[in-house]
Amino acid sequence: MRKKIVAGNWKMNGSYELINSLVPALAEEAKQSQAEILVCPPSLFLGDVRRQAGERLLVGAQNCHEAESGAFTGEVSTGMLAELQLSHVLVGHSERRAIYGETDALIAQKTKAAIAAGLVAVLCVGETLEERENGRTLDVVLGQVKAVVEQLELADWSKLVVAYEPVWAIGTGKTASSDQAQEVHRAIREALAGFSQEHADAMRILYGGSVKAANAEELFACPDIDGGLVGGASLNVDEFISICRAAN
Q: How far apart are CA 189 and CA 88, in angstroms?
A: 21
Q: Which of residues 39-58 bind ligand PEP (CB under 6 A)?
A: none
* CB-nearest residue to ligand PEP: 231
What does the DSSP 8-state code read for residue 89?
A: E
Q: Does 9 bind ligand PEP (CB under 6 A)?
A: yes
For 29-64, the DSSP string reads HHHH-SSEEEEE--GGGHHHHHHHHTTTSEEEES--
Q: Choose which of 230, 241, 244, 247 interacts with ligand PEP (CB under 6 A).
A: 230
Minimum CB distance to ligand PEP smaller for 97 or for 189: 97
Q: Is 41 left (phi over 0), alpha (psi -120 to 50) or beta?
A: beta
Q: Which of residues 181-220 bind ligand PEP (CB under 6 A)?
A: 208-211
**Is residue 206 classed as helix, strand or coil in its secondary structure?**
strand
Q: Is 24 left (phi over 0), alpha (psi -120 to 50) or beta?
A: alpha
Q: Does 92 bind ligand PEP (CB under 6 A)?
A: no
Residue 222 CB, nearest distance to ligand PEP (Å)? 16
Is 165 a known active-site residue? yes
- Short-list 93, 102, 95, CA closest to 123: 93
Minimum CB distance to ligand PEP smaller for 9 or for 87: 9
Catalytic residue, candidates 65, 93, 95, 131? 93
Residue 232 CB, nearest distance to ligand PEP (Å)? 3
Q: How far apart are CA 127 and CA 217, in angstroms?
A: 23
Minimum CB distance to ligand PEP smaller for 64 or for 200: 64
Q: Does 170 bind ligand PEP (CB under 6 A)?
A: yes
Residue type at 189? Answer: R
C-alpha distances (whole Å) from 59 to each of 40, 128, 149, 162 are 6, 28, 24, 17
Residue 57 CB, nearest distance to ligand PEP (Å)? 19
Is 199 a known active-site residue? no
Minimum CB distance to ligand PEP smaller for 200 or for 230: 230
Residue 212 CB, nearest distance to ligand PEP (Å)? 8
Count of residues engaged in binding ligand PEP, rule: CB under 6 A: 14
In 91-136, which residue ranges form alpha helices assigned H by DSSP? 94-99, 104-116, 129-133
Q: Does 165 bind ligand PEP (CB under 6 A)?
A: yes
Catalytic center residues: 93, 165
Query: Which residues of this protein are in contact with ligand PEP, per CB under 6 A?
Result: 9, 11, 165, 170-171, 208-211, 229-233
